[in-house]
Structure 1
Amino acid sequence: MNRGRSMCTAVVAAAGPRRDNPERLYRRLSALGGSGRSAAKALNDYIMEGRKIQKYELDRCVKELRKYRQFQTALEIMEWMEFRKINYSLPDYAVRLDLTAKAKGIEAAESYFSNLPQSAKNKLTYGSLLNCYCKEVMEEKALALYKKMDELNYVDSALVFNNLMALYMRKKQPEKVAPFVEEMKRREIRLDTFSYNIWMQSYASLNDMKGVESVVEEMQSQDEDECDWSTYSNLASIYVKAQLYEKAEVALKLSEKVMMSGKPQRQTYHFLITLYANTGNLGEVKRIWESLKLAFPDTNNISYLLVVQALCKLKDVEGLKECFEEWQSNCSSYDMRLANVVIRAYLSQNMYEEALLIFKDATKRCRGPFFKAREIFMAYFLDNRQPDLAISYLEEAILETKDDEWRPSPETIAAFLNYFEETKDIDSAENFCKILKRLNCLSSNEYCLLLKVYVAAGEFLPEICQRLKEDNIQISPELEELVEKVSPSRSTT
């Protein structure tokens, strides 16, 4: 008997299968992410244990894995389904094409599309490939495929135009969005919420507030159902960016009203908290926060993180402390990101002892990593002209580092070297660059900052060209100019 065929039979109707919790299969597959283990082997092992797998379970696993960006595992499941002769539905081909692009690249996706049977080259798979081209900002290929789809009468939904409009927003050519809207109207294709929102964003990118407001007015007059909470949240974001805070708050009230008319969503509360913080309205931040906790008594770490970020932005240190302590007393898993926000807020108010207590407590409550917190302390001590203490936190971060898992951020590197430039401290700058070299983050940018220290100190660096060659540094125009300044011969040769 063909082993592949027998395994297929086991999938659809194993003899005497165990009754099992469908969550078990998903948990097993989701645990594969980043482990290097094969989804095919996990599925085969599952069947060999006498368990039954229904296609709808595999579909659900693929959907959830895509949601959490575990594209490789999701693709392996679909490849296993094909190998075991489990029939694909027409949408499955489109999903697999998308996963192929995300896991293996656009060329692999094109190859998969080319080798599809003619019956599977339909509106869905063409649309999936168009989406891939648009996300990769491949304008020429996207337009060519759009033309082909038009010839096949596959351009009959908003999705095609939404992809093309998003392409031009990514290309920072917002003026090319409106013509697609006009084309949709000419073809009598109904604009959906995404269509309206991206059209609105295109006007915002052109600083055309009247255009933005005209889109909202059209939605309200022609298709009010498309005016969901996200529409008004996007409108509020546009107003905030334009510093039109009163208009932003009116839009946020509308967003909240629409939200309350249906089933409340945690994400909506998050948007409201963040946007009210951006308008500077502490009272509304606290009101929405209390509403969120009433709607979702089991308040998660993400919600707490967003509200402490909002309170930090608004410099409400007392409110921040109260919220953080509330979270600490209830949290099931310690999230270092919250501690980092509080540490940053305390240090911004020169509350070093309080920040240090939070940090020490965090090191006892969780396994880290603590790199971000240490970098926050580094920046604080550099700002306060205490480079030795900043270096001590850098050394602690290096001791914590395993297998090149951490490098200081560009902002941290610049903070150190800018300080050494101000103090004309060549020795400290050189010692710092030795550390960067050990961490494999010494590049053209870092050399530019180092040479600025030499320029500030009025010193030459005769061996600079040899060092750049040994470190295989790419010479940028800025670096070349600085090399000339620190070379005694005034030459890069």
Structure 2
Amino acid sequence: MALQQFGRSRSVTKRSKKHLEEALYKRLFKDGSSEVSVRQQLNQFIKSHKRVYKWEVGDTLKKLRQRKLYYPALKLSETMTKRGMNKTVSDQAIHLDLIAKTRGIPAAENFFIDLSESSKNHLCYGALLNCYCKELMTEEAEALMEKMKELNLPLSSMSYNSIMTLYSKTGQSERIPAIIQEMKASNIMLDSYTYNVWMRALAAANDISGVERVIDEMKKDGRVTRDWTNYSNLASIYVDVGLFEKAESALKELEKINSFKDLSAYQFLITLYGRTGNLLEVYRIWRSLRLAFPKTASISYLNMIQVLVNLKDLPGAEKCFREWESQCSTYDIRVANVLIGEYAKQDLLKKAEELKERARRRGANPNAKTWEIFLHYYLKNGEFGSAVDCVANAISAGRGDGGKWIPPQEIVNTFMRHFEQKKDVDGAEGFLDTVKRAVDTLEVEVLESLIRTYAAAGRTSPVMRRRLKMENVEVSEASKKLLETICVD
């Protein structure tokens, strides 16, 4: 299927019947932005064999990637290749990145190897480098960077930023100043992100005066376009070391720069003013956000309610929650979880239960986080029977992102110590049956605790040795001695 080239008009108002009736990205998101609905719409588009303009594909891929819908994005990219879209080198770099995110680094490496030599320019090398850095593959990233230098490929701040981010995440922040000096020596312009990474590296070394010199240098460099993230970064560094007045000065600078009214900037302002303990400023920014975004998103309410809870303003959090609840089109359990968590923390169990049930009636079933909140409450109060039910419910519900919930090892150990002290073999076995729904194998300390529970209760288990073999664990000498008394026919 032929695709319209970039030279054609970007208008979608005068399409022929061969084309989609609406822009592709609108078609894919018409039923919402969940991966399931996007995939369904994408499959319908593919079956329709309708034409789209090439710029639409690029625009749609950008929107899919922004929403982290990598599988649909890769499928769209592959479909367009099959239909004859002439991919630029930039398109190939994006495709490589999508492969890495969906099929792993080896698949991305194979795609890179199979590219024509003319396509292996700084963009594709840079895309592979970024993949290595995100996966914290230090040796591979450093080797590829050296290869790019050997090939005299034009290096930009983007490649250096990837390497520096890698060093930050792997506890090698002390290497970042040397990278900055290399960039300067090579006349590679530092961008806003570079300055942020540099500031964070100096903050990690507790060099706050160094951080301030960096922000001053950025101000003096007329080539750099400062953005609000520089000042949110600076304010966060000040907050971390308790310099609240300087943090608030940085936040005032952030407000001046946020002339385009970026939603994320407002949310960072609320969070950081909250961390300074300035409740008045939190409310002032909230009012500004609401004026800028009358249809305020649930994520903004979630952030505000969390900040109010952290500042011990429960009445304010409840009022904000009621406002959200009265106008939300979709009841988001994450917003309710913030208040449920605070109620449980303050031993207001009845209010927590009532809110959970109200959320359920509005179509928001409890997720693993909800049950975790009640789990910690019951453990704190020694109500282990109810706590076991919470573990079972959390495993059944799963995480809000669709992932599997696995009980933390410390929680499992807490349960096992309880059953051991109570000599409760049946309770321990029932609990482990629940845990096995979420994990493939049990830790050795869990099984050793189970052995001690059997011994303390005077119970026998002819199959215990076989169980240990199936779990592929080697128990201590003390546990082996106890097995002599437990494993009798």
Q: Distance in 2 between matches of 1:463 and 1:186?
A: 72
Once structures 1 and 2 are overlaid, which stretch shifts more, 359-368 or 297-306? 359-368
Q: Distance in 1 between matches of 2:251 and 2:476?
A: 51
2:2 to 1, 8, 11: 8
Q: Match of 1:8, SS?
A: coil
Determine if contact 1:165/1:177 at 8 Å carries over to the other structure: yes
Q: Deviations over 1:58-77 (max 9, x none)?
A: 11121111112222222222
**What is the CA-CA distance between 1:320 and the residue it aligns to?**
1.3
**What is the CA-CA distance between 1:429 and the residue it aligns to?**
3.4
The residue that corresponds to 2:353 in the other structure is 356
Determine if contact 1:425/1:453 at 8 Å carries over to the other structure: no
**What is the CA-CA distance between 1:186 and the residue it aligns to?**
0.8
1:333 to 324, 330, 348: 330
Q: Gaps spanning 5+ residues in structure 1: where?
A: 1-6
The residue that corresponds to 2:242 in the other structure is 243
**What is the CA-CA distance between 1:126 and the residue it aligns to?**
1.8
1:300 to 291, 297, 300: 297
**Using a 3 Å threshold, how does the CA distance of structure 1 residues 305 and 485 change in structure 2: closer, same or farther?**
farther
**Using a 3 Å threshold, how does the CA distance of structure 1 residues 292 and 420 change in structure 2: closer, same or farther?**
farther
Q: What is the number of equivalent residue pairs in this alignment?
A: 475
Q: Distance in 2 between matches of 1:449 and 1:258?
A: 59
Q: Does the alignment pair 1:170 with 2:161?
A: no
Q: Distance in 2 between matches of 1:30 and 1:65?
A: 12
The residue that corresponds to 2:226 in the other structure is 227
The residue that corresponds to 1:3 in the other structure is none
**What is the CA-CA distance between 1:343 and the residue it aligns to?**
0.8
**What is the CA-CA distance between 1:109 and the residue it aligns to?**
1.7
Alignment of 1:81-230 (within 5 A): 81-223=80-222, 225-230=224-229
Q: Match of 2:2, SS?
A: helix
Alignment of 1:39-58 (within 5 A): 42-47=44-49, 51-58=50-57
Once structures 1 and 2 are overlaid, which stretch shifts more, 72-81 or 290-299? 72-81
Q: Distance in 1 between matches of 2:363 and 2:355?
A: 12
**What is the CA-CA distance between 1:36 and the residue it aligns to?**
11
Q: Distance in 1 between matches of 2:478 and 2:270?
A: 46
The residue that corresponds to 1:4 in the other structure is none
Q: TM-score, normalised by structure 1?
A: 0.84
Q: Distance in 2 between matches of 1:337 and 1:324?
A: 12
Q: Distance in 2 between matches of 1:190 and 1:456?
A: 69
Q: Distance in 1 between matches of 2:125 and 2:31?
A: 29
The residue that corresponds to 2:253 in the other structure is 254
**Using a 3 Å threshold, how does the CA distance of structure 1 residues 473 and 214 change in structure 2: closer, same or farther?**
farther
**What is the CA-CA distance between 1:359 and the residue it aligns to?**
1.2
**Using a 3 Å threshold, how does the CA distance of structure 1 residues 449 and 355 change in structure 2: closer, same or farther?**
farther
Q: Match of 1:381, SS?
A: helix
**What is the CA-CA distance between 1:174 and the residue it aligns to?**
0.8
- Name the % identity: 38
Q: Gaps spanning 5+ residues in structure 2: where?
A: 9-14
Q: Distance in 1 between matches of 2:201 and 2:34?
A: 40
2:277 to 277, 280, 296: 280
Q: Distance in 1 between matches of 2:38 and 2:265?
A: 36
Determine if contact 1:273/1:288 at 8 Å carries over to the other structure: yes
The residue that corresponds to 2:306 in the other structure is 309
**Using a 3 Å threshold, how does the CA distance of structure 1 residues 128 and 393 change in structure 2: closer, same or farther?**
closer
Q: Match of 1:243, SS?
A: coil
Structure 2 counterpart of 1:305, one-letter code: L
The residue that corresponds to 2:11 in the other structure is none
**CA-atom RMSD, angstroms?**
3.6
Determine if contact 1:420/1:453 at 8 Å carries over to the other structure: no
Determine if contact 2:251/2:269 at 8 Å carries over to the other structure: yes
Q: Distance in 1 between matches of 2:424 and 2:222?
A: 65
